[in-house]
Structure 1
Amino acid sequence: MAGVIRTDKWLLHDDNQPLQIAKRLKKYFPNAEAEDVLHHLTMFGMSRSAVTKKQIQKMQGANTWKIVAKDYQQLQYDWEGANIPIFILPSDTANHKLRKEFNGKAGLSFNDKIFLFLSEWNTKMEIRALLTHEYNHVCRLTKYNKPESKYTLLDTIILEGMAEYAVYKRLGAEHTASYIGKYSDDVLHRFWNKYIAPKKELEPESKTYYHLLYGSHLYPKMLGYCVGECLVRTYANKHELSLKELFTIESEQIAETDILD
């Protein structure tokens, strides 16, 4: 089954406990137990507690499932993207960081499925921006000729940068993530040369990979994401490329050394 899955019907029929949700989803994770699925989803923003029917009814009243279904259809057409299942589930609104920095929304993408973790107060444009970001990931993962298991730090920052560039092009700068625009391009150029370029071949097994990607341990906040968006935007503008044309271009090519000079 593909397209937007009517998870609201699950949640209104007493499958509102996190572990029950994970059991329903287990078939989409063939090599994992329900407990593993639950751990992974909650780590990325799914609610850790039972969801009330009132919450789901509010999300229905805001047309959450309809908004995602309509925009997904448009994105799939525009980008000639894969037909995948999309699961909308309540987010962990008790998570202070998630509420403060992302207004209680988060997403998780695989090459064959998407999870959108949303709250009842997320707006239509917030929902569209999140879907744009996550479905852009799916298109990059499925169209770029490199297995995700081989992704380096450079591949990941390009993946994230491409997704936020897509939000900017589709919906405008006001709907990009809060960290986009945090630094000037000149500053991002310095960050690229000083922090990212020397470590661009790092793989996820390295702790430094995550420190650079997220900007932790004294690195500038959201370092990898911000540098990645600058690289993609600059390359796309220089070569006058559409969002769809970017999907297959090698990360090394997007990060060509003269683009920020």
Structure 2
Amino acid sequence: MYKPDRFSSNDFKELKERETWDFTEKIYLKYKKKWAGPNIDVYIFPAAGGGLFSRHSGKSGVSFANMLFLFLPSDIAEDEVEALFVHEYHHTCRINSQKKGLEEFTLLDSIILEGLAEHAVEIHCGKKFRGSWCSRYSKEEIRNLWDKLIKPQLKLKKNERLHQKILYGERPYPPLIGYAAGYEIVRGFREKKSFSTKLSFSAPSEYFVDQTLYKLES
């Protein structure tokens, strides 16, 4: 639940003065056209500070099939908003294309969802706008963690506690390991196979994994 306070009220006024809603709408219309994406509602709130879910400078977001939420610091640059929007709107586009509810998503689905979204950021906004998790671990570390910790749990559903712990890297799991594994799997896929935005929305999660060294079947 979002809880406003005196500081968030001041941030809201600053965001409004900087016409954040106007330039965010332009970003939305740009990618809706570019990706033939769905009509959605976009909600903007002042950021409540940094934390696990923050990307850079305290910004974060949450996506659903028909809406997304952006939590923004008052001094955020327009290109940072675009990077966050690309990540979250890619989620929305893929969720709609996969034709299943979020409650049906497995850990594998969530990992690939995050990896694809961050590659969308890299492609459309540049590497410097990627999340910190993209370079947090070496390829060898991720492969080892995949085999030992992640692969045995890929069928966990989104509403299961262990799903969230692995994806976000809550103790005893390494921080953001699910996000990092997703990025690395998609990176490996892009090295070997033809990649497009349309494919990133429509292809099943298993397809991206089975074309890399992280194959689901040993």
- TM-score > 0.5, shorter chain as reference: yes
Contact 1:145–1:248 (CA under 8 A) maintained in structure 2: no
Residues of 2 paired with 1:235 and 1:125: CA distance?
Answer: 27
- The aligned residue for residue 204 of structure 2 is 250
Residues of 2 paired with 1:99 and 1:255: CA distance?
Answer: 24
Give yes or no for the alignment of 1:48 onto 2:4.
Answer: yes
**Which protein shows a greater Rg?**
1
The one-letter code sitting in structure 2 at the alignment partner of 1:121 is D
Contact 2:103–2:157 (CA under 8 A) maintained in structure 1: no
- The aligned residue for residue 37 of structure 2 is 81
Give the TM-score normalised by structure 2: 0.89
- The aligned residue for residue 215 of structure 1 is 169
Give yes or no for the alignment of 1:230 onto 2:184.
Answer: yes
* Matched residue SS, 1:121: coil
Match of 1:122 among 76, 84, 87: 76
The one-letter code sitting in structure 1 at the alignment partner of 2:66 is D
Per-residue Cα deviation, 1:135-159 (whole angstroms, up to 9, x for no partner)? 0010010011333221110001111
Contact 1:168–1:176 (CA under 8 A) maintained in structure 2: yes
Query: Which is worse superposed, 221-230 or 117-126?
Result: 117-126
Residues of 2 paired with 1:179 and 1:192: CA distance?
Answer: 15
Name stretches of at least 5 consecutive residues in structure 2 with no aligned partner.
none
- The aligned residue for residue 19 of structure 2 is 63
Contact 1:59–1:120 (CA under 8 A) maintained in structure 2: yes
Residues of 1 paired with 2:154 and 2:83: CA distance?
Answer: 28
- The aligned residue for residue 20 of structure 1 is none
Residues of 1 paired with 2:154 and 2:53: CA distance?
Answer: 31
- Number of aligned residues: 215
Cα distance, 1:79 vs structure 2: 1.1
* Matched residue SS, 1:154: helix
CA RMSD of aligned residues (A): 2.2
1:76-115 superposed matches below 5 A: 76-93=32-49, 97=51, 102-115=56-69
- The aligned residue for residue 241 of structure 1 is 195
Cα distance, 1:72 vs structure 2: 1.0
- Judged with a 3 Å threshold, the aligned counterparts in structure 2 of structure 1 residues 206 and 188 are, in CA distance, closer, same or farther, namely same
Contact 1:153–1:200 (CA under 8 A) maintained in structure 2: yes
- Judged with a 3 Å threshold, the aligned counterparts in structure 2 of structure 1 residues 51 and 84 are, in CA distance, closer, same or farther, namely farther
Per-residue Cα deviation, 1:7-34 (whole angstroms, up to 9, x for no partner)? xxxxxxxxxxxxxxxxxxxxxxxxxxxx
Residues of 2 paired with 1:259 and 1:189: CA distance?
Answer: 9
Give runs of ≥4 in structure 1 deviating > 6 Å. Answer: 98-101
Give the TM-score normalised by structure 1: 0.75
Per-residue Cα deviation, 1:88-110 (whole angstroms, up to 9, x for no partner)? 111213xx536986422111111
Match of 2:148 among 187, 194, 198: 194
Name stretches of at least 5 consecutive residues in structure 1 with no aligned partner.
1-38
- The aligned residue for residue 138 of structure 2 is 184
